[in-house]
A and B are shown apart, each in its own frame.
Chain A
Amino acid sequence: MVPLHYYLLLSAILFACGVTGFLIKRNIITIFMSIELMLNAVNLSFVAFAARWHVLSGQVFVFFVMVVAAAETAVGLAIIIAVYRTRETLNVDQVNLLKL
């Protein structure tokens, strides 16, 4: 028996790590990996709630989240390649063409 709190706490910790990585990292690929970490944390709380209340829809939601994450990764990495081709850097501080 594991209390549901623990799963939610683990999910919150992983999500906080993802947010922190998103904020402190300067490499665009690592920032992207932090986003994946946040999606994983949310998936864990989905599955924990689904197991607690015996609702199977939670697993289907996780499936949809994973599909959207896969699509997002494909497009995002293509954007990263395009950015690297034009700017020749992966540092987000140097990708500032839209900055005033």
Chain B
Amino acid sequence: MLHLILFSVFAVIAVAGALNLLVQRHPISSALSLIVVMGSLAVEYLLLGAEFVAAIQVIIYAGAIMVLFVFVIMLLNAGVEERTKGSKVALILGFPAMLVGGLLVAWVLLRAPNVGSVNVGAMYGPPKAIGWLLFHDFLLPFEVTSVLVLIAIMGAVVLASPVRSRFSRPQPEPERQALKAAAGTEPAHEETVTARRSS
């Protein structure tokens, strides 16, 4: 009974946070309500007995990913979003479609016979067992994941670096002269690079 009450409370909090994400106009408010959703989902994982997943939910999602989001929002100085005609059409069509789809899913799920129920702490999953599974049965996916993360880091650095260092556009001639005059003598390798580019 207590399990059901706790589940309901945190489910309501999660759904309220998700709806608040939709209603809010400012990205920072949406980000904070997404953090609420993630925190209440972590509690749901704890109720299921999945402590490891709850911990990494808080550490990775609510910690790392959302900090990244808030950092980018503040870096780009994102303001209140403006509504356009297309989004109004989506608003009128989208909410009824979501309601109909949700009712359909609820009907199908509640009619499914005898799916069973979950006890509190039903999952016996100490981190030791998960680590064993991760490094024996899922060793290859784990290593592929590390390669994926490495590629993602490099891609993020390349994409977010300034444009000039990526394409190294040749500067216009008067600017070059001014730069040369300011710097005195230009480095030798710069001359060879421009000579090679012009040839």
Residues of chain A touching chain B, judged by Cβ–Cβ distance below 8 Å, are 1-10, 12-14, 16-21, 23-27, 29-30, 32-34, 36-37, 40, 43-44, 47-48, 50-52, 54, 56-57, 59-60, 62-64, 66-75, 77-82, 84-86, 90-91, 93
- Interface size for B (C-beta < 8 A) is 85
Of chain A, the residue at the smallest CB distance from B76 is A84
Question: Are the C-beta atoms of B21 and A3 separated by less than 8 Å?
Answer: no
Are B15 and A23 in contact, with the CB atoms below 8 A? no
Chain B 75-117 interface residues, beta-carbon cutoff 8 Å to A: 75-76, 78, 81-84, 86-87, 90-91, 94-95, 98, 101-102, 105-106, 109-110, 112, 115-117
CB distance from A70 to the nearest CB of B (A): 6
* Contact in complex: B122, A52 (CB < 8 Å): yes
In the assembled complex, the Cα of A77 lies from the Cα of B68 at a distance in Å of: 8
The CA of A64 and the CA of B152, in the complex, are separated in Å by 14
State the Cβ distance, A64 to closest chain B Cβ, in Å. Answer: 6
**Which B positions have Cβ atoms within 8 angstroms of A?**
3-4, 7, 11, 14-15, 18-19, 21-22, 27, 30-31, 34, 37-38, 41, 44-45, 47-50, 52-53, 56-57, 60-61, 64-65, 68-69, 72-73, 75-76, 78, 81-84, 86-87, 90-91, 94-95, 98, 101-102, 105-106, 109-110, 112, 115-119, 122-125, 129-130, 133-134, 137-138, 141, 145, 148-149, 151-153, 155-160, 163
**Which B residues touch A56, using CB under 8 A?**
123, 125, 129-130, 133
Taking a contact as CB atoms under 8 Å apart, the answer to whether B105 and A9 are in contact is: yes
CB-based contact B102/A59 at 8 Å: no
Q: B163 contacts A85, CB within 8 Å?
A: yes
A21 in complex: contacting residue of B22, B47, B133, CB < 8 Å = B22
Q: Are B115 and A16 in contact (CB under 8 A)?
A: no
What is the CA–CA distance of A48 and B101 in the complex, to the nearest angstrom? 21
B153 in contact with A74 (CB, 8 Å): yes
B7 to chain A, nearest CB (A): 5
